[in-house]
């Protein structure tokens, strides 16, 4: 049962934002721009606090935290500020002759009171990135950060309180019961980032109120290596993407599927990369004991492993390891890993690969390493995914001019840059007719012989 104080806070905050939006406060371009400017200034002033919070929650190296959760966020914020006026400008469209005289246009309109539910793995970026889009689109926002990243949760609440009046943007903190209570309220739009299992619950709750939603989920994102790939490059780039943030990235490579003819050569290159790059000691730790235990259970296997360094369970530091000689039906291949464990499976033909990959549904990302254009296009045509990166990993998710999101089991909806603004608003059709215009083409009785000239002119 949710604490009655939390229930009251949710109710008061939601009601206050309904009134604030209805009064039209968020509608003007200047209001939105001013709010984004204040947020940018606050983020800049809290740069060191962001790095410290991410160290406390995940042990993130400062380089990773700065690149992925601070600078990347500022770049998106500045990009939206720069282009917002152009993106919000109504767009004229032509009108059919039988509607004339008239002016037809499309406008971007905010949904209203929105709910954003952020995850723990990139707690700063994945809270503020959708928030920026929601504010730019003219909505009010209730933001629920993850309680699992408690230092970041506290900092997010502090920044939001400094920047926004609560009737515009508020942070509500709490556990899963708090999230459930929020989802019982009628929001105009819901944005969720997290697991597929929880995403299904969020979608069901939103559907009760016919609220549109964006679901940013995950899945088992494959890194496919065919016999034409440059193996040294592939090994380096896959491991770099996998072990960033300790493997706790929704679109990180989840496993490698390699053509059996180059399997042994790939293992050699992976060993060389692990000898060259020391991730151990320079990698984020597992978020908490529950997830650490879950990962340990995946390691209860007799499959050979290539391991770099030792585990330090008391500090939640799991050594990066490659699991070799894995079968497609092994336990580690049945769920998204979300940690520093990378299994390698083999395939013998394109058709076998396609059949195996289709069994996992549609992942958030698909990584293809090949110099064979025909092979690349065949796999792209056969396997759906939210995004694709060829001969590298993660880059499609770091590109602010490309939409980011899933399909099928990995979610739906897009954000990042302009795509975020489009997701948090809807396209409104507006037709303006002058009062003096004759009603020549209005279809109302008496019809008489109108059908004759309609057949003649409306062909």
Check whether residue 207 and residue 321 sit in a common domain: no
Mean pLDDT across 164-177: 96
Q: Give the count of domains, the chain.
A: 2
Q: Which of 366, 403, 370 lies closest to 259, judged by CA?
A: 370
pLDDT (0 to 100) of residue 457:
76
Would the pLDDT of 318 be above 90? yes
Asked, for residue 456, whether it belongs to a domain, the answer is: no
Would the pLDDT of 1 be above 60? no
Long-range contacts of 161-164 (CB under 8 A, 24+ apart): 162/42, 163/35, 163/38, 163/39, 163/42, 164/35, 164/38, 164/39
Whole-angstrom distance, CA of residue 395 vs CA of residue 217: 18
CB 420 within 8 A of CB 110: no
Asked, for residue 234, whether it belongs to a domain, the answer is: yes
Asked, for residue 24, whether it belongs to a domain, the answer is: yes
- What's the gap between Cα 452 and its chain centre? 55
* 257 Cβ contact partners less than 8 Å away, ≥ 6 residues apart: 222, 223, 224, 225, 344, 345, 346, 347, 353, 356, 357
Would the pLDDT of 290 be above 70? yes
Check whether residue 125 and residue 35 sit in a common domain: yes
pLDDT (0 to 100) of residue 72:
97
Tokens of 353: 């690969």
Check whether residue 153 and residue 248 sit in a common domain: no
Would the pLDDT of 18 be above 60? yes
Mean pLDDT across 77-91: 97
Check whether residue 418 and residue 327 sit in a common domain: no
Judged on CB neighbours under 10 Å (0-12, 13-18, 19+), 171 is buried
Q: Are strands 425-432 and 103-110 parallel, antiparallel or unpaired?
A: antiparallel
pLDDT (0 to 100) of residue 218:
87
Check whether residue 271 and residue 140 sit in a common domain: no
CATH code for position 290: 3.40.309.10
User: Known catalytic residue: 250?
Assistant: yes
**What is the per-residue pLDDT across 442-455, written as a single tens digit (0 to 9) for each?**
778 888 888 887 78
Q: Which of 203, 197, 262, 204 lies closest to 233, judged by CA?
A: 262
Check whether residue 166 and residue 247 sit in a common domain: no
Check whether residue 33 and residue 155 sit in a common domain: yes
Check whether residue 127 and residue 273 sit in a common domain: no
Check whether residue 114 and residue 147 sit in a common domain: yes
Asked, for residue 275, whether it belongs to a domain, the answer is: yes
| Weakest-pLDDT range from 125-134, 183-192, 427-436 | 427-436
Check whether residue 279 and residue 180 sit in a common domain: no
Q: Are strands 189-193 and 213-216 parallel, antiparallel or unpaired?
A: parallel
Task: Please state the three-class secondary structure of the chain as a single string.
Answer: CCCHHHHHHHHHHHHHHHHHHHCCCCCCHHHHHHHHHHHHHHHHHCHHHHHHHHHHHHCCCHHHHHHHHHHHHHHHHHHHHHHHHHHHCCEEECCCHHHCCCEEEEEEEECCEEEEECCCCCCCHHHHHHHHHHHHCCCEEEEECCCCCHHHHHHHHHHHHHHCCCCCEEECCCCHHHHHHHHCCCCCEEEEECCHHHHHHHHHHHHHCCCCEEEECCCCCEEEECCCCCHHHHHHHHHHHHHHHHHCCCCCCCEEEEEHHHHHHHHHHHHHHHHHCCCCCCCCCCCCHHHHHHHHHHCCCCCCEEECCCCEHHHCECCCEEECCCCCCCHHHCCCCCCCEEEEEEECCHHHHHHHHHCCCCCCEEEEECCCHHHHHHHHHHCCCCEEEECCCCHHHCCCCCCECCCHHHEECCECCHHHHHHCEEEEEEEECCCCCCCCCCCCCCCCCHHHHHHHHCC
| pLDDT level of residue 87 (50, 70, 90 thresholds) | very high
**What is the per-residue pLDDT across 125-138, written as a single tens digit (0 to 9) for each?**
999 999 999 999 99
User: Known catalytic residue: 216?
Assistant: yes
CB 250 within 8 A of CB 216: yes
pLDDT (0 to 100) of residue 414:
96
Q: Which of 154, 151, 126, 320 lies closest to 217, judged by CA?
A: 126
Domain hosting 400: range is: 222-404
Tokens of 313: 């369970």
Of 64, 76, 153, 216, the catalytic one is: 216
| pLDDT level of residue 2 (50, 70, 90 thresholds) | low
CATH code for position 164: 3.40.605.10
Check whether residue 415 and residue 394 sit in a common domain: no
Asked, for residue 334, whether it belongs to a domain, the answer is: yes
| pLDDT level of residue 459 (50, 70, 90 thresholds) | confident
Judged on CB neighbours under 10 Å (0-12, 13-18, 19+), 432 is exposed
Tokens of 55: 């160290």
**What is the signed CA dihedral for 161, 164, 167, 170, rounded to 10 degrees?**
-40
Mean pLDDT across 318-322: 98
**What is the per-residue pLDDT across 348-389, written as a single tens digit (0 to 9) for each?**
999 999 999 999 999 999 999 999 999 999 999 999 999 999
Asked, for residue 196, whether it belongs to a domain, the answer is: yes
Asked, for residue 57, whether it belongs to a domain, the answer is: yes
Check whether residue 162 and residue 304 sit in a common domain: no
**What is the per-residue pLDDT across 47-75, written as a single tens digit (0 to 9) for each?**
999 999 999 999 999 999 999 999 999 99
Of 178, 213, 221, 250, the catalytic one is: 250
Whole-angstrom distance, CA of residue 211 vs CA of residue 188: 5
Asked, for residue 325, whether it belongs to a domain, the answer is: yes
Mean pLDDT score of the chain = 95
């Amino acid at each position: 049962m949710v604490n009655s104080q939390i229930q009251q806070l949710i109710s008061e905050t939601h009601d206050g934002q309904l009134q604030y939006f209805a009064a039209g406060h968020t509608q003007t371009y200047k209001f939105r721009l001013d709010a984004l400017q204040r947020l940018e200034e606050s983020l800049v002033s809290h740069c060191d606090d962001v790095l410290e919070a991410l160290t406390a929650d995940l042990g993130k190296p400062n380089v990773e935290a700065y690149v992925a959760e601070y600078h990347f966020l500022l770049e998106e914020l500045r990009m939206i500020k720069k282009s917002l006026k152009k993106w919000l400008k109504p767009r004229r469209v032509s009108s059919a002759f039988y509607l004339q005289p008239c002016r037809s246009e499309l406008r971007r309109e905010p949904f209203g009171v929105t709910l954003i539910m952020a995850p723990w793995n990139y707690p700063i970026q994945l809270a503020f990135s959708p928030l920026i889009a929601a504010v730019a689109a003219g909505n009010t926002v209730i933001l629920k950060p993850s309680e699992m990243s408690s230092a970041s949760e506290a900092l997010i609440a502090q920044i939001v309180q400094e920047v926004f009046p609560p009737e515009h943007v508020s942070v509500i903190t709490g556990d899963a019961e708090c999230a459930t209570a929020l989802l019982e309220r009628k929001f105009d739009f819901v944005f969720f980032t997290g697991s597929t299992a929880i995403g299904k619950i969020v979608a069901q709750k939103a559907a009760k109120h016919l609220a549109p939603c964006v679901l940013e989920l995950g899945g088992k994102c494959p890194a496919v290596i065919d016999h034409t790939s440059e193996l040294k490059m592939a090994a380096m780039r896959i491991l770099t993407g996998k072990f960033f943030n300790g493997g706790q990235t929704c679109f990180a490579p989840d496993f490698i599927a390699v053509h059996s003819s180059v399997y042994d050569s790939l293992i050699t290159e992976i060993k060389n990369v692990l000898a060259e790059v020391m991730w151990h000691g320079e990698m984020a730790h597992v978020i908490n004991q529950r997830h650490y235990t879950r990962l340990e259970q995946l390691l209860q296997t007799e499959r050979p492993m290539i391991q770099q360094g030792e585990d330090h369970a008391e500090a939640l530091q799991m050594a990066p390891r490659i699991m070799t000689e894995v079968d497609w039906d092994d336990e580690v291949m049945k769920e998204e890993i979300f940690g520093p464990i990378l299994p390698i499976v083999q395939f013998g033909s394109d058709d076998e690969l396609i059949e195996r990959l289709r069994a996992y549904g549609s992942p958030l990302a698909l990584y293809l390493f090949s110099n064979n254009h025909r092979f690349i296009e065949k796999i792209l045509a056969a396997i759906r995914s939210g995004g694709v990166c060829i001969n590298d990993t993660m880059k499609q998710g770091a590109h602010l001019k490309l939409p980011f999101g899933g399909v099928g089991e990995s979610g739906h909806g897009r954000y990042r840059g302009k795509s975020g603004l489009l997701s948090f608003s809807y396209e409104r059709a507006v037709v303006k007719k002058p009062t003096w215009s004759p009603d020549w083409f209005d279809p109302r009785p008496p019809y008489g012989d109108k059908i004759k000239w309609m057949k003649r002119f409306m062909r």
